[in-house]
Amino acid sequence: MKNLQPVRGTRDLLGDQARRFDFIVKTAFDVAQKFGFERIDTPVFEYTNVFKRAVGETTDIVGKEMYTFNDRGDEELTLKPEGTAPVVRALISNALTQKLPLKFSYYGAMFRYERPQKGRYRQLHQFGVELFGIDNPVADAEIIGMGASIIKALGLSTKLHINTLGDVESRNNYKAALVEYFSKFISDLSDDSKNRLHKNPLRILDSKDEMDKKISENAPKGEDFLNKQSAEFYNKVCAALNAINIDFVADNKLVRGLDYYTHTAFEFKSNELGSQDAVGGGGRYDGLVEHMGGPAIPGVGFGIGVDRLAILLENQAFKKPNSIALIVIGDYLNEALKIAFDLRAQGHNVEIIYKNNIGKAFKEAEKFARYVMIIGEDEVKMQSVKLKDLFLPLEHPNKERLVAISKLHEMISNG
């Protein structure tokens, strides 16, 4: 029955995959906390205008990908396709604009009606951060550095691409030059690019169409249209990245799919993801708060795709962290129960294996546990358990030991 399948582009997250997601999200929040960022959770849906205004009417997201519906009270609502617009809305509706700077981190499901493929889902999951109230270019480098730190803390590596879109003046001059250039090739451009020519010519640079790509090769370069302030701003971002030893590629073709960016734009890319190679992206959006109806407050942030990070972590085993499996031989479940509750109270992850057959019990334990504790008649008499560390090699003297119950916490805590 079709209705018992998950909706196309959505998935259930469970087992290893759920553990991978947990690990990514926990690591990301831990890193963000080191930078002073605090969690914000905005609703799953907003009035459609929040996204139309912030992301831009000519973008793919607003034009083709939003899950928009009228509720029973005839309000037009949209499931959030991205996280920045709702956070800006929250900043304004909670009257937080006097309390700057503000540093927010968030995680949640987002929804885009895209064609599903590897690394691209209709329900996606992003971790993101937004910093409001700092217009210093060094803050851009700090935000980029936070993204890089999260990726590193996950044991992954990606390539950082950065670009500048300049301020409004620089960008308008550049757009005019692009319209003039692309107009000469109008009949050869793809239909999408023809549509974008006057509304959003920067997006043509990002087209995947082969002919568009060829034409774009000789298009005017953004850096030639930067005014002095914008060029200086970009140089300071690059210098600050150098100061913290973050490698980057200056990529003048990098234009992001959302309209709110000014100055810095960046993406973390991986070559292990096929065509959906952006693991995360972000940039500065100085005009956005004002454009949404608030005061003129600068902002910078990023969103990283947890689904894509999870693909990069797929080759790693995800055991439950330092878990303990308790195997019981004979009628000693109550004794095991007591040990399990005491160890949990001391901070350990413990699961009792409810199987009488020791072979089967062991098989189950091996699936998730680092430590296996065996408790039977002899052990109960000696107020001890047999402790096996599955992470140690066979010949290691501590591979299997008899440990007094009173010493278990200490023994396990010391690894």
* Interface with ligand HAM (CB under 6 A): 82-84, 112, 114, 119-121, 124, 126, 128, 130, 257-258, 278-283, 301-305, 307-308
225: Cα separation from own chain's centroid: 33
Q: Kindly list the distances between the CA atom of residue 409 and the CA atoms of 49, 124, 332, 353, 365, in Å, as whole numbers in the listed order.
A: 55, 40, 20, 19, 19
Q: Which is nearer to ligand HAM, 121 or 362 (CB)?
A: 121
Closest approach of ligand HAM to the CB of residue 98, in Å: 22
Residue type present at position 314: E
Closest approach of ligand HAM to the CB of residue 217, in Å: 24
Query: Does residue 343 contact residue 317 with C-beta atoms inside 8 Å?
Result: no
Q: Which is nearer to ligand HAM, 45 or 182 (CB)?
A: 45
Sequential DSSP letters for 213-236: HHHHHTSPPGGGG--HHHHHHHHH
Q: Which is nearer to ligand HAM, 120 or 203 (CB)?
A: 120
Q: Which is nearer to ligand HAM, 68 or 173 (CB)?
A: 68
Cβ-proximal residue to ligand HAM, closest one: 305
Closest approach of ligand HAM to the CB of residue 3, in Å: 23
Closest approach of ligand HAM to the CB of residue 309, in Å: 8
Q: Which is nearer to ligand HAM, 53 or 388 (CB)?
A: 53
Axis crossing angle, helix 228-243 with helix 137-153, rounded to the nearest 10: 40
Query: Does residue 86 contact residue 107 with C-beta atoms inside 8 Å?
Result: no
Closest approach of ligand HAM to the CB of residue 251, in Å: 14
Closest approach of ligand HAM to the CB of residue 115, in Å: 9
Cα 93-102-110 angle, rounded to 5 deg: 65
Alpha carbon distance 336, 339 (integer Å):
5
Q: Which is nearer to ligand HAM, 118 or 401 (CB)?
A: 118
